[in-house]
Amino acid sequence: MSRARYDELKRKMKEVGLLYSTEGILAWDQQTYMPPRGSAHRAEMMAQTAGLAHARFTDPRIGELLSELEGSDLAKGEDTIEAANIRELRRQYDRQIKLPADLVEEFNKTTALAHEHWVEARRLSDFKRFEPWLVKVVSLVKRKAEAYGCEGEPYNALLDEYEPGIRIEMLDGVFADLRRGLTALLEKISGAAKRPDRSIIERPYDVDRQRIFGEAVIQAMGFDFQAGRLDVTVHPFCAGIGPGDTRILTHYNPRRLTDALFGSMHEAGHALYEMALDKAGNFGMPVSQAASFGMHESQSRIWENQIGRSRPFWEYFFPQAQRLFREQLGDVSFEDFYGAVNSVQSSYIRVEADEVTYNLHILLRFELERLLLSGELKPEDVPGEWDARFKKYFGMEVDRCANGCLQDVHWSAGLIGYFPTYTLGNLYSAQFYAQAKSDIPDLETRVSRGELLGFRDWLRGNIHVHGRRYRADELCRRVTGSGIDHKPLLAYFEEKFSALYK
């Protein structure tokens, strides 16, 4: 009887998953090929699809099935796929039934429209064009947080959506230690006599050749172009649509080589995770989904940084880059190029930031989100507060809103609570890479020969295949023997940048 109930639950969750896939393809099209004038109709489509998915997911029958299964043998084995699915569906169901259907539809319609206004506001660097939409989005996000309810700060209710089980109180200490370590490291780097020549990567680089180079790299990583595609957008992202359909998007800068390359590697890292999840046998169920957004981010950052910015990686790929970009790199030495790729320099744009300063970008956003949600910061005051904190962290005056508070897509999409997962991803990635080097002693030698699939397989076997079988912190403990820890990331930075900056 329990198995029949479980199979019924799987069928119902597949129906929900198909609606989420539809929602995903609508969002992907909106940011790639949809004509600008289609935004109003697209907002209604996305609102209705989200409403249907929410209605299916909160069907009382789902609750009945979960109640029956929670007392069955299928729920007893903590490590089994069935037990994990039952446990995580209960968590998701209990959260979703707290959201009124009209709030779900209004939220999705508003964020779809807000995205188009953000694109235009960013293009014109005019915050006033986006301000009324930010007011609406923040109001709706507050309503969601109130509906969910939580212990401690309201922000916890939103953070739990992206990082199950993680609380502000857990992050405060880790992030504070990380901030202190980063500040100390930046002081040492700023005082170093050796300065890499960053201009090497800031020359005219033909976009078509950038595309060829980037596609070759992500194919070497294991990205399957028969099960995925690479397109262009304003803000790079990855969309795991469903079995055999994972889409990544990048953004080309004709005057900088690394933007699109590292963006493509980053999104391909997300895609490799999506491609390895059990979406055929468990589509719509939690084990076909990533453990958390922070865990997902760890898979993109580990490819972008620990692999893509490493010496072994460029020992293989730099000669290929030289052949493609003879005019720009023909007379550049390996050491000069490697230094340019890893130069540490304060910059306005988060997605273009170096490894060391990147997390300061995240901490700034994290602080502002908490203030917005608590009401201490009003949406109309965001530009001034952003600029003041940016100067404090980076020592730079923000020149225009497009380089400041308008640069990220997240707030237009209502993704408040999402930003901390980027730093969590960086923390996890350092822990995983240290473990991978221990498990594969010749890993860096393999990378220097362009052999990246062995590392892909290590990630797949240790992280990808589990999906949401384990919570992120538990998965990290199983793989590395430790939970979230800032020390491996700082140790990685110290070793790498001490050598670069002498």
Dihedral angle at the C-alpha atoms of 60, 65, 70, 73, nearest 10 degrees? 180
Q: Provide CB contacts within 8 A for 188, sequence distance 6+.
A: 501
The answer to whether the CB of 304 falls within 8 A of the CB of 269 is yes
Q: How far from 301 is each of 215, 355, 371, 430, 489, CA to CA, in Å?
A: 18, 10, 27, 9, 12
**Residue whose C-alpha is closest to residue 341's, from 484, 141, 196:** 196
Count Cβ atoms below 10 Å from residue 121 Cβ, excluding itself.
Answer: 22
In degrees, rounded to 5, the angle at the alpha carbon of residue 181 between the alpha carbons of residues 179 and 182 is: 65
Crossing angle between the packed helical segments 207-221 and 311-324, to the nearest 10 degrees: 140
Distance from C-alpha of 127 to C-alpha of 131, rounded to nearest angstrom: 6
Distance from C-alpha of 28 to C-alpha of 4, rounded to nearest angstrom: 36
Strands 245-250 and 228-232, by their bridges, are: parallel
Q: Percentage helix, strand, coil, to 5, in the chain?
A: 70, 5, 30
Distance from C-alpha of 457 to C-alpha of 455, rounded to nearest angstrom: 5
Q: Provide CB contacts within 8 A for 38, sequence distance 6+.
A: none
Count Cβ atoms below 10 Å from residue 3 Cβ, excluding itself.
Answer: 12
Q: Quick one: which H or E segment has residue 379?
A: none
Distance from C-alpha of 96 to C-alpha of 113, rounded to nearest angstrom: 23
Q: Provide CB contacts within 8 A for 226, sequence distance 6+.
A: none
**Residue whose C-alpha is closest to residue 85's, from 475, 460, 467, 477:** 467
**Is-catalytic flag, 267?**
yes
Strands 245-250 and 237-242, by their bridges, are: antiparallel
Residue from 267, 355, 369, 385 carrying the catalytic annotation = 267
3-state secondary structure string, 140-195?
HHHHHHHHHCCCCCCHHHHHHHHCCCCCHHHHHHHHHHHHHHHHHHHHHHHCCCCC
The answer to whether the CB of 220 falls within 8 A of the CB of 245 is no
Tokens at 202, concatenated: 């800031």
Q: Provide CB contacts within 8 A for 438, sequence distance 6+.
A: none
Residue with tokens 């969910």: 148
Distance from C-alpha of 485 to C-alpha of 185, rounded to nearest angstrom: 17
Catalytic residues: 267
